[in-house]
Amino acid sequence: MIQGALAFVAGWFWLGAALAASADAPNLLVDPAGAASSPAAPWQPVGLPRQDKPVTRYRVIDFDGARVLEIDAQASYGNLVHEWPAGIRAQQLSWRWRIELDNPKTDLRSKSGDDHVVAVCALFDLPLQAIAFWERQMLRLARALSGQSLPAATLCYTWDARQPAGALLESPYTRRVRWIVLRGAGDTPGVWRTEQRDLQADFVRGFGDESTTVPPLRAVLLAGDADNTGGRSLALVADLVLR
């Protein structure tokens, strides 16, 4: 894995294409009547600069009578991103998910194990002045190297059988990414689980040490990766709704 500043950049390279928010809160993920096997624009797969590892596969499939997203990670890396460049004010994010194949090698507390079977992330436009000087400088470097306006606060929800449900963790690569484990040890794979999250409250829980004012939401990101562990995982996500 890339080290130092480049590793910091790798933890940030999560951006997609533009779309204005819809007032009737549709399913962001798939068109139920559609037949495409790939998520439609503005969803866009995004990897690392000069990535030499396999890319995680994101595929829309029919499953249990619904159109769902399959996330297939095989020693791979890659994210699926839906962005609002101007930012929006969002209150809730809801979805269904399940794990079909777990990766027992993951460990979100270490760089060597920093893979995840499935993650649903909210990327916030936190002002630079809210974060510590050193991290601010690193973020400026990451933006310069990537050529993108990378977000200063990314909150990720994950399903991880090695962590207790409810745990709040910082990425071992950067404090700009923080994890909330929604489903953890004891949660049965192969079963649909439904989540509904208060983005405002969760932002304050994750980044309240830096700001209790919730900034605009810049993007929603879906991810699964297994590049650090060289493992394999398979997960499904459905009915993703932002309000």
In whole angstroms, how far apart are CA 92 and each of 38, 148, 192, 241? 25, 26, 20, 8
Q: What is the largest CA-CA distance in the chain?
A: 51
Global confidence as pTM: 0.87
The CATH number for 4-242, chosen from 2.60.120, 1.10.287, 2.30.30, 1.10.940, is 2.60.120
pLDDT at 31: 62
pLDDT at 197: 98
Domain ranges of the chain: 4-242
Q: Where are the alpha helices (DSSP H) in the chain?
A: 4-10, 133-146, 199-207
pLDDT at 28: 80
Mean pLDDT by 10 residues, the chain (243 residues): 36 32 55 70 86 94 92 96 89 96 96 96 92 85 75 95 95 93 94 97 97 94 96 97 93
